């Protein structure tokens, strides 16, 4: 009987024609739809063949019966039951097509680590697209015709913005720290305060990064308090550097003390030891001007006398994922000669995205950088945006809509104690659970990520783009108990 079902599987062109007739795959290219139909039919064929070959031993579980119910229906019921399964499977294949796809971030977390952190400004993205489809002078000196350096395109801009003698860009900040350790501290000691031995995310920890770079970690001070004498007493003939790690993603408050960079520099000069600062998020702008806690900027840290400063490109800078190292030319030159640099270097698209972002800082147009634009939204602006969304959702059956006060956060390990007042559109389902509603939003053609607060799903307009509002409204119109 199941062998006869194989003969009932429809041809690809027939399924595509029916999908087009019913407008079931709007927004997808024909090539993507064709791919999804073929994948779904291949899966159905494999399920039927496996069932025949294994006598249904593995496939007769309750879970499989629920997922593949067309296996167990009568022949006269097969076509409608299979078509229902097939169309669901095609939609699932399309949702996974290309795997990485657009999502709507309604969480209010600006630097959402799971969603790619900083958004590029459209102008910067356009510059990337422009460079992607043409040949460029990435490593070509146009004046001499000889091989050039890919870093020459970025060094002058970074020097202008930070005052650094030289700079280097690698693929992320952990790579920057790794390269620094491997260049200057193999089999040597690196002194770090115990309170700065952070985990930077994804279980990657500073002690392990130092170890991978070949350095020997020397912990000083206590978790909550470290003094200059702690560093001074630890300095010895094997000391390669004093390392200060900015604890971007957490704060020790209350009974605490840390040694500022300028005091470490004094100790370093007395012993002829460089001071390296891992700033983590790293910002060119003073956050206090945006209502955020005051933190050291990249420029301030360099002016304090640090020999090298490293920071991320895709956090508060607002650019692509990158690890940026700035500082003394003689040290940067040594980093460039390390064989690891080639393994850690960035490509032309990352450089283009970084250059495109830094141009805004050069022109004093930081409001065009999405991260800083979102940080600058006033509560009045956000109230108007939340109200706009609530009006688009008004009258939808099965939902209660309310505009209310809430809090956003920066995310990405930046300003961990900062509270950003916001206004949100709260949506409460009259039936089913708020968890069901959140899942329904997340599993749409364009996944919508929102937060659950008590008995409501909330949409924070701080991180919404203009085109997101209509997508949210259209998805919620399909909600039903």
Q: What DSSP string describes 439-481? A: HHHHTSSS-EE-EEETTEEEE-GGG--TTHHHHHHHHHHT---
Alpha-carbon distance of 317 to 303, in angstroms, equals: 18
Alpha-carbon distance of 258 to 222, in angstroms, equals: 10
Dihedral sign (CA 362, 363, 364, 366):
negative
335 burial type by CB count under 10 A (0-12 exposed, 13-18 middle, 19+ buried): buried
Per the document, the length of the chain is 481
CATH (residue range 121-367): 3.40.640.10
Render 12-65 in DSSP notation, one character per residue: HHHHHHHHHHTTTTTTS-HHHHHHHHHHHHHHHHHHHHHHHHTTTTTTTSHHHH
Q: Could you give the angle at the alpha carbon of 337 between the alpha carbons of 331 and 340, nearest 5°?
A: 105
Which tens digit of pLDDT belongs to each residue from 429-472?
998 899 999 999 998 889 999 999 999 999 999 999 999 999 99
In the chain, list all ranges with CATH 3.40.640.10: 121-367
Alpha-carbon distance of 297 to 410, in angstroms, equals: 16
Q: How many CB atoms lie within 10 A of CB 148?
A: 16
Q: What is the band of 61 on the pLDDT scale with cuts at 50, 70, 90?
A: very low
In the chain, list all ranges with CATH 3.90.1150.180: 102-111+371-476
CB-CB contact of 357 with 347 (8 Å): no
Percent of the chain scoring above 70 in pLDDT: 90
CATH of 102-111+371-476, one of 3.90.1150.180, 3.40.50.1370, 3.40.50.720, 3.40.718.10: 3.90.1150.180
Return contacts of 449-452, CB within 8 angstroms, 24+ apart. 449/103, 449/104, 449/105, 449/106, 449/107, 449/112, 449/115, 450/106, 450/107, 451/106, 451/107, 451/108
Sheet holding 451-453, edge to edge: 109-111, 399-411, 420-429, 456-459, 451-453
Q: What is the band of 65 on the pLDDT scale with cuts at 50, 70, 90?
A: very low
Alpha-carbon distance of 402 to 218, in angstroms, equals: 54
Supply the pLDDT for residue 199: 75
DSSP letter assigned to residue 115: G
Which of 4-13, 73-82, 119-128, 222-231 is predicted least confidently? 73-82
Which of 21-30, 167-176, 325-334, 465-474 is predicted least confidently? 21-30
Tokens describing residue 227: 């003094």
Dihedral sign (CA 159, 164, 165, 169):
negative
Nearest to 155 by CA among 144, 145, 166: 166
Location of structure tokens 């809090």:
407
Question: How much is the average pLDDT of 369-392?
Answer: 97
> Which H helix or E strand runs over 77?
helix 75-95
Average pLDDT of the residues of the chain: 89
Provide the β-strand partners of residue 277: 244, 309
Location of structure tokens 């027939």:
14
- C-alpha R_g of the chain: 28
Location of structure tokens 């939808």:
396
Which tens digit of pLDDT belongs to each residue from 396-418?
999 999 999 999 999 887 887 78
């Amino acid at each position: 009987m199941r062998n006869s079902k194989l003969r009932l599987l429809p041809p690809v062109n027939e399924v595509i024609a029916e999908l087009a007739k019913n407008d079931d795959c709007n927004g997808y290219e024909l090539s993507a739809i064709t791919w999804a139909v073929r994948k779904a039919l291949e899966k159905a064929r494999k399920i039927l063949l496996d069932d025949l070959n294994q006598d249904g031993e593995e496939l007769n579980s309750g879970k499989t019966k629920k997922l593949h119910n067309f296996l167990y229906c009568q022949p006269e019921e097969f076509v409608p039951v299979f078509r229902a399964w097939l169309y669901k499977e095609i939609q699932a294949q399309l949702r996974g097509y290309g795997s990485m796809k657009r999502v709507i971030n309604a969480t209010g977390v600006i630097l959402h680590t799971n969603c790619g952190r900083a958004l590029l400004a459209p102008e910067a993205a356009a510059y990337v697209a422009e460079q992607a489809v043409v040949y460029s002078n990435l490593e070509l000196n146009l004046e001499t015709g000889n091989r050039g350096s890919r870093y020459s395109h970025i060094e002058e801009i970074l020097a202008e913005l930070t005052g650094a003698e030289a700079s280097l860009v690698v693929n992320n900040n952990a790579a920057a720290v790794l390269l620094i350790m491997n260049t200057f501290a193999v089999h040597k000691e690196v002194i770090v305060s115990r309170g700065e031995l952070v985990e930077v995310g994804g279980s990657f920890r500073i002690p392990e990064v130092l170890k991978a770079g070949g350095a020997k970690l020397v912990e000083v001070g206590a978790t909550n308090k470290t003094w200059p004498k702690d560093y001074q007493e630890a300095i010895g003939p094997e000391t390669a550097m004093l390392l200060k790690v900015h604890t971007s993603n957490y704060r020790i408050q209350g009974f605490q003390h840390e040694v500022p960079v300028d005091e470490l520099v004094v100790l370093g000069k007395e012993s002829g030891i460089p001071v390296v600062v891992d700033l983590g998020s790293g910002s060119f702008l003073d956050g206090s001007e945006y209502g955020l806690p005051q933190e050291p900027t990249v420029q301030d840290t360099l002016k304090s006398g640090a020999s090298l400063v490293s920071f991320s490109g895709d956090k508060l800078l607002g650019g692509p994922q990158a690890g940026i190292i700035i500082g003394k030319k003689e040290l940067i030159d040594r980093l460039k000669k390390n064989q690891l640099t080639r393994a850690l270097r960035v490509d032309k698209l990352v450089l283009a995205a970084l250059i495109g972002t830094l141009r805004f800082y050069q022109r004093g147009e930081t409001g065009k950088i999405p991260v800083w634009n979102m940080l600058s939204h006033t509560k009045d602006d956000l109230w108007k945006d939340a109200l706009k969304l609530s009006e688009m959702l008004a009258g939808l059956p099965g939902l209660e809509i309310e505009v209310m006060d809430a809090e956003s956060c920066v995310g990405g390990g930046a300003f961990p104690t900062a509270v950003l007042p916001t206004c949100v559109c709260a949506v409460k389902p009259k039936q089913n659970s708020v968890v069901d509603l959140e899942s329904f939003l997340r599993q749409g053609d364009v996944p919508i990520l929102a937060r659950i607060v008590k008995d409501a799903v909330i949409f924070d307009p701080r991180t919404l783009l203009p085109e997101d509002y209509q997508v949210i409204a259209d998805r919620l119109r399909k909600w039903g108990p």
